[in-house]
Amino acid sequence: MAVDENKTKITILTATYRVKGYINLVPGARVTDYMIDAKDFIAVTDAEVWELGGRLVLTAPFLNVSRDCIQIVTPGH
């Protein structure tokens, strides 16, 4: 099975949740570039949503995260 080179691990923090998953980046692009170009929502695949206290709330193959809710975003987990 081929590895999708465009998939980049990401962690997003909101006021209430930590979202872990993947975004699709063009090779050589930065997460900052992705955020600047994003519209109202960030598309996250293979998503896990955790309460900040550490409880897993849900998993989903696809999740949209509102840009307005994002406080911190970083590559990796």
Q: Provide φ and ψ at 3, rounded to 5°.
A: -85, 135
pLDDT value of position 44: 96
- Which pLDDT band holds residue 1 (cuts at 50, 70, 90)? very low
> Comparing C-alpha atoms, which of 77, 2, 71 is closest to residue 46?
77
Would you state the structure tokens that stand for residue 12, as one six-digit string? 């997003």
DSSP 8-state code for residue 32: H
Mean pLDDT of all residues in 5-20: 93
Mean pLDDT of all residues in 53-63: 96
pLDDT value of position 58: 97
pLDDT value of position 30: 87
Q: Please give the Cα distance from 2 to 61 (Å, whole number).
A: 18
Q: Provide φ and ψ at 17, rounded to 5°.
A: -130, 160
Domain 7-75 sits in CATH at: 2.30.30.100
